[in-house]
């Protein structure tokens, strides 16, 4: 088995762990924060230690490319966040209005 066989490469900006909807970025975020593979497994309980180790190994073997991938994801997420602030959904608009009226949490958001 090749290391790449552990992953689904859906696009250049979407690498998932095979058999899961979990992206490699989810595992690597924990890893880069200093979590051990066992701690990551406790947090992402649907992943086996084997898949976690494969993800970390893939990262270590392809560090420059994966660092660039993680940076692109971070920038994309920030852009999505800023867009959602500038153009809130209808529910978001109601939450903002409720907060402005001081009624948040009183059950009249819908």
Token pair of 75, please?
């920038």
Count how many domains the chain has: 1
Q: Residue 52 is part of a domain; what is its CATH number?
A: 1.10.10.10
- Asked whether residue 66 is assigned to any structural domain, the reply reads yes
- Asked whether residue 106 is assigned to any structural domain, the reply reads no
Q: Which domain holds residue 70?
A: 3-78
Q: Average pLDDT for residues 64-72, to the nearest whole number?
A: 97
The pTM score is 0.76
Residues in the chain: 110
Contact present, 56 and 47 (Cβ < 8 Å): no
76-87 residue pLDDT tens: 989 988 888 888
């Amino acid at each position: 088995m090749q290391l790449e066989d552990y992953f689904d490469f859906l696009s250049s900006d979407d690498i998932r762990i095979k058999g899961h909807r979990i992206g490699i970025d989810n595992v690597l975020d924990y890893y880069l924060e200093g979590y051990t593979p066992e701690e990551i497994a406790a947090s992402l309980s649907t992943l086996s230690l084997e898949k976690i180790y494969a993800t970390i190994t893939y990262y270590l073997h392809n560090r420059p490319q994966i660092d660039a991938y993680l940076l692109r994801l971070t920038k994309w997420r920030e852009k999505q966040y800023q867009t959602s602030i500038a153009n809130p959904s209808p529910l978001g608009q109601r939450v903002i209005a409720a907060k402005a009226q001081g009624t948040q949490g009183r059950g009249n958001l819908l």
